[in-house]
Amino acid sequence: MPADLLEIRDLKKTFSIAHGLFARPLTLTALEDINFTIHQGETLGIVGESGCGKSTLGRCILQLLAPDEGQVLWLGQDLTRLPAEEMRKRRQDLQIIFQDPLASLNPRMTVGEIIADPLRTLRPELDKTERRARVLKTMESVGLLPEMINRYPHEFSGGQAQRIGIARALITEPKLIVCDEPVSALDVSIQAQILNLLAELKDELGLTLIFISHNLSVVRHVSDRILVLYLGRIVELATGDEIYEDPRHPYTRALLTAVPIPDPKLARQRNIDALDGEIPSPINPPSGCTFRTRCRHARDICAQQRPPLETIEDNRLVACLRWQEIEVEEQANQPA
Strands 26-39 and 4-17: antiparallel
Going by C-alpha positions, the residue among 192, 216, 183, 212 that lies closest to residue 100 is 183
Is the per-residue pLDDT at 269 higher than 60? no
Domains for the chain: give ranges and CATH numbers.
Answer: 4-93+174-332 (3.40.50.300), 105-170 (no CATH)
How confident is the model at residue 243, as a pLDDT? 93
What is the Cα–Cα distance from 129 to 167, expressed in whole angstroms? 18
List the single range of 188-192, 225-229, 247-251, 261-265 with lowest mean pLDDT: 261-265
pLDDT digits (tens, 9 = 90+) for 50-98: 889 999 999 999 999 999 999 999 999 999 999 998 999 899 999 999 9
How confident is the model at residue 271, as a pLDDT? 57
What is the Cα–Cα distance from 227 to 34, expressed in whole angstroms? 11
How confident is the model at residue 278, as a pLDDT? 81
- Other Cβ atoms less than 10 A from the Cβ of 136: the count is 16
What is the Cα–Cα distance from 89 to 224, expressed in whole angstroms? 29
pLDDT digits (tens, 9 = 90+) for 286-310: 999 999 999 989 999 999 999 999 9
Question: Does the predicted model carry a pTM greater than 0.85?
Answer: yes
Is the per-residue pLDDT at 139 higher than 80? yes
How confident is the model at residue 331, as a pLDDT? 72
Give 2's contacts (C-beta < 8 A, 6+ positions apart): 39, 40, 41, 42
How confident is the model at residue 259, as a pLDDT? 67
Cα atoms found within 13 Å of the Cα of residue 77, Cβ hemisphere only: 7
| Long-range CB contacts (within 8 A, 24+) of 131-135 | 134/171, 135/167, 135/171
What percent of the residues of the chain are helix, what percent strand, and what percent coil, each to the nearest 5? 40, 20, 40
What is the Cα–Cα distance from 122 to 106, expressed in whole angstroms? 18
